[in-house]
Amino acid sequence: MTLHWELQRKGLCALGAALAALIVASATSPVRADDASAQDVPAQDVLAQHAQETLAPGIDAAARAPATFFRINDVLAKLDAMRGRGPNAVRLAALTPSNIATDAAPEPRPAPAKGDEPFGLFTFRAPEGLLWQKWRGLETRLARDAETLRGCQTDAGNCPSNAAQFLRLIGAVKSKSGRARLDEANRAVNMVVRYVSDYAQHGEADRWSSPLETFATAKGDCEDYAIAKYVALREAGFPREDLRLMLVRDRAVRQDHAVLAARLDGQWLVLDNRRSELIEDSGATNLAPLFAIDHAGVHLFAAPYAQRQLSGPTEATPAASDEATEWGNADVAAGAAWPGALPLLM
Protein backbone atom coordinates (compact mmCIF):
# COMPACT_ATOMS: atom_id res chain seq x y z
CA MET A 1 0.00 0.00 0.00
CA THR A 2 2.79 2.38 0.89
CA LEU A 3 4.48 1.76 -2.45
CA HIS A 4 1.27 2.28 -4.38
CA TRP A 5 0.49 5.51 -2.52
CA GLU A 6 4.00 6.78 -3.11
CA LEU A 7 3.76 6.01 -6.84
CA GLN A 8 0.45 7.86 -7.05
CA ARG A 9 1.87 10.81 -5.16
CA LYS A 10 4.67 11.13 -7.68
CA GLY A 11 2.25 10.87 -10.60
CA LEU A 12 3.74 7.59 -11.81
CA CYS A 13 0.57 5.52 -12.01
CA ALA A 14 1.39 4.18 -15.49
CA LEU A 15 4.83 3.04 -14.46
CA GLY A 16 3.42 1.54 -11.29
CA ALA A 17 0.93 -0.49 -13.31
CA ALA A 18 3.72 -1.81 -15.55
CA LEU A 19 5.77 -2.79 -12.53
CA ALA A 20 2.78 -4.51 -10.98
CA ALA A 21 2.23 -6.54 -14.18
CA LEU A 22 5.89 -7.48 -14.28
CA ILE A 23 5.79 -8.59 -10.63
CA VAL A 24 2.72 -10.79 -11.21
CA ALA A 25 4.31 -12.41 -14.28
CA SER A 26 7.56 -13.13 -12.47
CA ALA A 27 8.37 -16.49 -10.90
CA THR A 28 7.02 -16.96 -7.40
CA SER A 29 9.77 -19.40 -6.42
CA PRO A 30 12.80 -18.02 -4.58
CA VAL A 31 15.95 -17.17 -6.54
CA ARG A 32 19.40 -17.71 -5.05
CA ALA A 33 21.53 -14.61 -5.00
CA ASP A 34 25.07 -14.62 -6.31
CA ASP A 35 26.31 -13.31 -2.98
CA ALA A 36 26.81 -16.16 -0.53
CA SER A 37 25.48 -13.96 2.33
CA ALA A 38 22.24 -13.11 0.52
CA GLN A 39 18.94 -14.81 1.41
CA ASP A 40 16.44 -16.50 -0.93
CA VAL A 41 13.61 -14.11 -1.67
CA PRO A 42 10.79 -14.17 -4.22
CA ALA A 43 11.58 -12.45 -7.51
CA GLN A 44 8.67 -9.99 -7.00
CA ASP A 45 10.25 -8.86 -3.71
CA VAL A 46 13.45 -8.09 -5.56
CA LEU A 47 11.60 -5.97 -8.09
CA ALA A 48 9.61 -4.24 -5.37
CA GLN A 49 12.77 -3.46 -3.44
CA HIS A 50 14.36 -2.00 -6.57
CA ALA A 51 11.28 0.12 -7.18
CA GLN A 52 11.29 1.39 -3.61
CA GLU A 53 14.91 2.40 -3.78
CA THR A 54 14.51 4.08 -7.13
CA LEU A 55 11.10 5.68 -6.97
CA ALA A 56 10.51 6.23 -3.26
CA PRO A 57 13.81 7.19 -1.66
CA GLY A 58 11.94 8.91 1.18
CA ILE A 59 10.61 5.67 2.60
CA ASP A 60 12.23 4.52 5.80
CA ALA A 61 15.24 2.33 5.04
CA ALA A 62 14.37 0.01 7.92
CA ALA A 63 11.12 -0.89 6.18
CA ARG A 64 12.93 -1.92 3.05
CA ALA A 65 13.71 -5.58 2.26
CA PRO A 66 17.39 -6.53 2.07
CA ALA A 67 18.90 -5.93 -1.36
CA THR A 68 19.11 -9.12 -3.41
CA PHE A 69 20.94 -9.52 -6.73
CA PHE A 70 20.06 -12.11 -9.35
CA ARG A 71 20.97 -13.11 -12.91
CA ILE A 72 18.43 -13.53 -15.69
CA ASN A 73 19.87 -16.99 -16.46
CA ASP A 74 19.12 -18.07 -12.89
CA VAL A 75 15.52 -16.94 -13.23
CA LEU A 76 15.09 -18.72 -16.57
CA ALA A 77 16.61 -21.89 -15.14
CA LYS A 78 14.10 -21.77 -12.26
CA LEU A 79 11.23 -21.32 -14.69
CA ASP A 80 12.47 -24.23 -16.81
CA ALA A 81 12.64 -26.47 -13.75
CA MET A 82 9.09 -25.50 -12.74
CA ARG A 83 7.76 -26.23 -16.23
CA GLY A 84 9.68 -29.50 -16.65
CA ARG A 85 11.65 -28.26 -19.63
CA GLY A 86 15.09 -29.36 -18.47
CA PRO A 87 18.32 -27.41 -18.05
CA ASN A 88 19.08 -27.17 -21.80
CA ALA A 89 15.70 -25.99 -23.01
CA VAL A 90 15.83 -24.04 -26.26
CA ARG A 91 13.72 -20.91 -26.71
CA LEU A 92 12.67 -19.91 -30.20
CA ALA A 93 11.77 -16.27 -30.32
CA ALA A 94 9.85 -16.45 -33.60
CA LEU A 95 8.19 -19.85 -33.30
CA THR A 96 4.53 -19.69 -34.27
CA PRO A 97 2.35 -21.62 -31.77
CA SER A 98 0.75 -24.70 -33.28
CA ASN A 99 -2.74 -23.63 -32.21
CA ILE A 100 -2.68 -20.37 -34.19
CA ALA A 101 -4.27 -20.44 -37.64
CA THR A 102 -2.76 -18.42 -40.46
CA ASP A 103 -3.77 -17.63 -44.01
CA ALA A 104 -0.20 -17.12 -45.12
CA ALA A 105 0.67 -19.29 -48.10
CA PRO A 106 3.40 -21.86 -47.38
CA GLU A 107 6.74 -21.11 -48.94
CA PRO A 108 7.08 -23.06 -52.21
CA ARG A 109 9.76 -25.73 -52.14
CA PRO A 110 12.18 -25.64 -55.06
CA ALA A 111 11.85 -28.57 -57.44
CA PRO A 112 14.66 -31.11 -57.01
CA ALA A 113 17.42 -30.79 -59.55
CA LYS A 114 17.39 -33.38 -62.30
CA GLY A 115 20.55 -34.98 -63.59
CA ASP A 116 21.43 -35.70 -67.20
CA GLU A 117 22.12 -39.37 -66.59
CA PRO A 118 19.58 -42.22 -66.89
CA PHE A 119 16.72 -42.03 -64.39
CA GLY A 120 17.34 -38.29 -64.04
CA LEU A 121 20.27 -38.96 -61.72
CA PHE A 122 23.88 -37.86 -61.42
CA THR A 123 27.10 -39.83 -61.65
CA PHE A 124 30.65 -39.41 -60.42
CA ARG A 125 33.83 -41.38 -60.94
CA ALA A 126 33.78 -44.66 -59.05
CA PRO A 127 36.71 -45.58 -56.80
CA GLU A 128 39.26 -47.99 -58.19
CA GLY A 129 38.24 -51.59 -57.81
CA LEU A 130 37.15 -54.77 -59.55
CA LEU A 131 34.86 -53.00 -62.01
CA TRP A 132 37.65 -50.77 -63.23
CA GLN A 133 39.84 -53.85 -63.76
CA LYS A 134 37.10 -55.60 -65.70
CA TRP A 135 36.39 -52.57 -67.86
CA ARG A 136 40.06 -51.95 -68.72
CA GLY A 137 40.51 -55.60 -69.60
CA LEU A 138 37.42 -55.46 -71.81
CA GLU A 139 38.66 -52.31 -73.56
CA THR A 140 41.80 -54.19 -74.59
CA ARG A 141 39.71 -56.96 -76.16
CA LEU A 142 37.39 -54.41 -77.80
CA ALA A 143 40.43 -52.86 -79.47
CA ARG A 144 41.37 -56.29 -80.88
CA ASP A 145 37.80 -56.74 -82.13
CA ALA A 146 38.03 -53.40 -83.92
CA GLU A 147 41.21 -54.48 -85.72
CA THR A 148 39.52 -57.70 -86.83
CA LEU A 149 36.51 -55.80 -88.17
CA ARG A 150 38.74 -53.41 -90.10
CA GLY A 151 40.55 -56.38 -91.59
CA CYS A 152 37.23 -57.85 -92.68
CA GLN A 153 36.33 -54.64 -94.47
CA THR A 154 39.55 -54.74 -96.50
CA ASP A 155 39.73 -58.51 -96.99
CA ALA A 156 36.30 -60.10 -96.72
CA GLY A 157 37.66 -63.47 -97.86
CA ASN A 158 39.68 -63.91 -94.69
CA CYS A 159 37.04 -62.59 -92.33
CA PRO A 160 36.10 -64.97 -89.50
CA SER A 161 32.45 -66.01 -89.55
CA ASN A 162 31.65 -64.48 -86.19
CA ALA A 163 33.14 -61.15 -87.31
CA ALA A 164 31.22 -61.28 -90.61
CA GLN A 165 28.00 -61.96 -88.73
CA PHE A 166 28.61 -59.03 -86.38
CA LEU A 167 29.41 -56.74 -89.34
CA ARG A 168 26.09 -57.67 -90.96
CA LEU A 169 24.32 -56.79 -87.72
CA ILE A 170 26.12 -53.43 -87.60
CA GLY A 171 25.06 -52.76 -91.18
CA ALA A 172 21.42 -53.48 -90.35
CA VAL A 173 21.59 -51.11 -87.38
CA LYS A 174 23.29 -48.40 -89.43
CA SER A 175 20.60 -48.58 -92.10
CA LYS A 176 18.00 -47.36 -89.60
CA SER A 177 17.66 -43.99 -87.92
CA GLY A 178 16.26 -42.58 -84.72
CA ARG A 179 14.46 -44.96 -82.40
CA ALA A 180 14.37 -47.65 -85.10
CA ARG A 181 18.17 -47.84 -84.92
CA LEU A 182 18.05 -48.59 -81.21
CA ASP A 183 15.22 -51.05 -81.70
CA GLU A 184 17.19 -52.90 -84.39
CA ALA A 185 20.27 -53.23 -82.16
CA ASN A 186 18.18 -54.53 -79.26
CA ARG A 187 16.21 -57.08 -81.25
CA ALA A 188 19.11 -58.32 -83.38
CA VAL A 189 21.47 -59.04 -80.49
CA ASN A 190 18.66 -60.61 -78.45
CA MET A 191 17.92 -62.98 -81.36
CA VAL A 192 21.52 -64.02 -82.01
CA VAL A 193 22.69 -64.63 -78.45
CA ARG A 194 21.24 -67.33 -76.23
CA TYR A 195 21.37 -66.69 -72.50
CA VAL A 196 23.86 -68.87 -70.64
CA SER A 197 25.38 -68.03 -67.27
CA ASP A 198 29.11 -67.44 -66.96
CA TYR A 199 29.35 -70.40 -64.61
CA ALA A 200 27.81 -72.71 -67.20
CA GLN A 201 29.81 -71.34 -70.13
CA HIS A 202 33.17 -70.38 -68.65
CA GLY A 203 33.21 -71.85 -65.15
CA GLU A 204 33.60 -68.34 -63.72
CA ALA A 205 31.34 -66.24 -61.53
CA ASP A 206 31.52 -63.24 -63.83
CA ARG A 207 33.24 -62.77 -67.17
CA TRP A 208 32.75 -59.88 -69.58
CA SER A 209 33.07 -60.95 -73.22
CA SER A 210 33.70 -58.80 -76.27
CA PRO A 211 31.11 -58.94 -79.09
CA LEU A 212 33.25 -61.23 -81.29
CA GLU A 213 33.82 -63.58 -78.34
CA THR A 214 30.07 -63.65 -77.72
CA PHE A 215 29.20 -64.17 -81.39
CA ALA A 216 31.76 -66.99 -81.65
CA THR A 217 29.63 -69.09 -79.30
CA ALA A 218 26.29 -67.26 -79.69
CA LYS A 219 26.01 -67.52 -75.91
CA GLY A 220 26.30 -65.01 -73.12
CA ASP A 221 24.76 -63.46 -70.05
CA CYS A 222 23.25 -60.02 -69.48
CA GLU A 223 26.55 -58.04 -69.62
CA ASP A 224 27.50 -59.74 -72.89
CA TYR A 225 24.20 -58.67 -74.49
CA ALA A 226 24.66 -55.10 -73.31
CA ILE A 227 28.30 -54.92 -74.46
CA ALA A 228 27.42 -56.24 -77.94
CA LYS A 229 24.66 -53.62 -78.31
CA TYR A 230 27.00 -50.90 -77.04
CA VAL A 231 29.67 -51.71 -79.64
CA ALA A 232 27.17 -52.26 -82.48
CA LEU A 233 25.61 -48.84 -81.94
CA ARG A 234 28.99 -47.12 -81.67
CA GLU A 235 30.18 -48.78 -84.90
CA ALA A 236 26.91 -47.73 -86.55
CA GLY A 237 27.64 -44.08 -85.74
CA PHE A 238 25.54 -43.56 -82.62
CA PRO A 239 27.19 -40.90 -80.39
CA ARG A 240 29.25 -42.54 -77.68
CA GLU A 241 28.30 -39.73 -75.27
CA ASP A 242 24.73 -41.03 -75.42
CA LEU A 243 25.47 -44.64 -74.48
CA ARG A 244 25.79 -46.14 -70.99
CA LEU A 245 26.41 -49.71 -69.94
CA MET A 246 24.41 -49.89 -66.72
CA LEU A 247 24.82 -52.30 -63.84
CA VAL A 248 21.57 -52.32 -61.90
CA ARG A 249 19.65 -54.19 -59.25
CA ASP A 250 16.39 -55.70 -60.46
CA ARG A 251 14.23 -55.37 -57.38
CA ALA A 252 11.38 -57.39 -58.89
CA VAL A 253 13.47 -60.58 -58.98
CA ARG A 254 16.13 -59.53 -56.45
CA GLN A 255 19.01 -60.05 -58.86
CA ASP A 256 21.87 -58.03 -60.27
CA HIS A 257 21.45 -57.23 -63.94
CA ALA A 258 23.07 -55.34 -66.82
CA VAL A 259 21.38 -53.32 -69.55
CA LEU A 260 22.30 -50.67 -72.10
CA ALA A 261 20.89 -47.15 -71.90
CA ALA A 262 20.82 -44.92 -74.98
CA ARG A 263 19.82 -41.26 -75.07
CA LEU A 264 17.68 -40.18 -78.00
CA ASP A 265 16.33 -36.63 -78.25
CA GLY A 266 17.00 -36.08 -74.56
CA GLN A 267 15.20 -39.27 -73.48
CA TRP A 268 17.03 -42.28 -72.07
CA LEU A 269 15.83 -45.63 -73.41
CA VAL A 270 16.70 -49.01 -71.89
CA LEU A 271 17.77 -51.94 -74.10
CA ASP A 272 17.27 -55.16 -72.11
CA ASN A 273 17.99 -58.73 -73.19
CA ARG A 274 14.75 -59.77 -71.45
CA ARG A 275 12.61 -57.44 -73.52
CA SER A 276 12.15 -57.21 -77.26
CA GLU A 277 10.87 -53.64 -77.01
CA LEU A 278 12.60 -50.53 -75.72
CA ILE A 279 11.47 -48.97 -72.48
CA GLU A 280 11.89 -45.44 -71.21
CA ASP A 281 13.99 -45.14 -68.07
CA SER A 282 11.06 -43.61 -66.21
CA GLY A 283 9.11 -46.80 -66.87
CA ALA A 284 11.84 -49.15 -65.63
CA THR A 285 10.76 -48.75 -62.02
CA ASN A 286 12.05 -52.19 -61.04
CA LEU A 287 15.66 -51.22 -61.82
CA ALA A 288 17.82 -49.62 -59.15
CA PRO A 289 20.85 -48.17 -60.98
CA LEU A 290 24.25 -48.74 -59.40
CA PHE A 291 27.02 -48.13 -61.95
CA ALA A 292 27.28 -46.49 -65.38
CA ILE A 293 30.14 -47.39 -67.74
CA ASP A 294 31.09 -45.64 -70.96
CA HIS A 295 34.14 -44.38 -72.86
CA ALA A 296 35.04 -42.23 -69.81
CA GLY A 297 35.16 -45.20 -67.45
CA VAL A 298 33.20 -46.45 -64.45
CA HIS A 299 30.86 -44.10 -62.62
CA LEU A 300 28.59 -44.42 -59.62
CA PHE A 301 25.03 -43.28 -59.78
CA ALA A 302 24.26 -40.65 -57.18
CA ALA A 303 21.17 -38.70 -56.20
CA PRO A 304 22.07 -35.79 -53.91
CA TYR A 305 19.18 -33.69 -55.22
CA ALA A 306 16.77 -36.21 -56.73
CA GLN A 307 15.16 -39.30 -55.28
CA ARG A 308 13.05 -41.85 -57.09
CA GLN A 309 10.19 -43.83 -55.66
CA LEU A 310 10.75 -47.35 -56.91
CA SER A 311 8.02 -49.93 -57.03
CA GLY A 312 8.57 -53.57 -56.24
CA PRO A 313 8.54 -55.89 -53.25
CA THR A 314 9.18 -53.99 -50.06
CA GLU A 315 11.22 -56.90 -48.74
CA ALA A 316 13.67 -56.71 -51.65
CA THR A 317 17.26 -56.81 -50.47
CA PRO A 318 19.19 -53.52 -50.93
CA ALA A 319 21.62 -53.46 -53.82
CA ALA A 320 24.58 -53.15 -51.49
CA SER A 321 23.73 -56.36 -49.63
CA ASP A 322 25.63 -59.61 -49.46
CA GLU A 323 23.59 -60.87 -52.41
CA ALA A 324 25.21 -58.32 -54.72
CA THR A 325 27.95 -60.70 -55.86
CA GLU A 326 27.81 -60.57 -59.65
CA TRP A 327 30.27 -57.66 -59.89
CA GLY A 328 31.97 -58.26 -56.55
CA ASN A 329 30.99 -57.24 -53.06
CA ALA A 330 34.02 -54.95 -52.80
CA ASP A 331 32.82 -52.64 -55.57
CA VAL A 332 29.24 -52.48 -54.42
CA ALA A 333 30.29 -51.93 -50.82
CA ALA A 334 32.65 -49.16 -51.92
CA GLY A 335 29.81 -47.55 -53.80
CA ALA A 336 27.48 -47.75 -50.82
CA ALA A 337 30.08 -46.16 -48.57
CA TRP A 338 30.94 -43.41 -51.04
CA PRO A 339 29.28 -40.04 -50.22
CA GLY A 340 26.10 -39.61 -52.27
CA ALA A 341 26.08 -43.13 -53.62
CA LEU A 342 22.63 -44.12 -54.77
CA PRO A 343 22.44 -47.50 -52.99
CA LEU A 344 22.00 -45.55 -49.73
CA LEU A 345 18.93 -43.80 -51.16
CA MET A 346 17.08 -46.77 -52.65
* Residue 268 Cα distances to 109, 118, 119, 314, angstroms: 27, 6, 8, 26
Q: What is the pLDDT of residues 66-108, one digit of tens each?
A: 666 667 777 777 777 776 666 666 555 555 555 666 666 666 7
Strand partners, 122: 302
- 340: domain CATH number is 3.10.620.30
Task: Give the domain range for residue 326.
Answer: 118-344
Structural domain count of the chain? 2
- Whether 281 is in a domain gets the answer yes
Quick one: which of 298, 305, 289, 299 has its CA closest to 343? 289
Distance CA(85)–CA(34), nearest Å, equals 23
Residue 251 within a domain: yes
Please, are residues 304 and 345 in contact by the beta-carbon 8 Å criterion?
Answer: no
How would you classify the pairing of strands 219-220 and 194-195? parallel
Assign 32 to helix, strand or coil: coil
111 phi/psi in degrees, rounded to 5: -65, 140
Q: Of 259, 258, 116, 263, which is closest to residue 181 (Cα–Cα)?
A: 263
Q: Is 86 strand, coil or helix?
A: coil
Residue 92 lies in a domain: no
Read off the pTM: 0.62
Do 174 and 254 fall within a single domain? yes
Residue 224 sits in the same domain as residue 299: yes
Q: Which regions of the chain are under pLDDT 50? A: 1-41, 43, 46-47, 55-56, 304-325, 328-330, 333-346
Domain membership flag for residue 217 = yes
DSSP secondary structure string for all residues of 96-152:
PPTT----PPPPPPPPPP--SBGGGBEEEEPPSSHHHHHHHHHHHHHHHHHHHHHHH
Note the pLDDT of residue 72. 73
Task: Find out whether 8 and 14 touch, Cβ atoms under 8 Å.
Answer: no
Residue type, 190: N
Q: State the number of CA atoms in the 13 A half-sphere of 230 facing the CB.
A: 26
pLDDT of residue 292: 97
The residues near 334 (Cβ < 8 Å, ≥ 6 apart) are 126, 127, 129
Residues 242/264, Cβ–Cβ less than 8 Å: yes
Distance (Å) of CA 140 to CA 88, 134, 144, 177, 246: 64, 10, 7, 29, 20
The answer to whether residues 322 and 259 belong to one domain is: yes
Please choose, from the candidates 267, 278, 275, 277, the residue with its C-alpha nearest in 3D space to the C-alpha of residue 242: 267
- Residue 118, Cα to own-chain centre: how many angstroms? 15
Sheet order of strands, 122-125 included: 122-125, 297-302, 287-294, 243-250, 255-264, 267-271, 279-280
Considering the domain architecture, whether residues 192 and 60 belong to the same structural domain is answered as: no
Same domain, 35 and 172: no
Kindly state whether residues 244 and 300 are assigned to the same domain: yes
Say if residue 124 is in the same domain as residue 15.
Answer: no
- Whole-number Å distance between alpha carbons of 58 and 303: 75
Same domain assignment for residues 74 and 131: no
89, part of any domain: no
Q: Do residues 66 and 142 both lie within one domain?
A: no
Mark whether 126 and 258 lie in a shared domain: yes
Q: Do 67 and 137 belong together in one domain?
A: no
Q: Are 145 and 162 in contact (CB under 8 A)?
A: no
The last residue of one of the domains, among 66, 83, 100, is 83
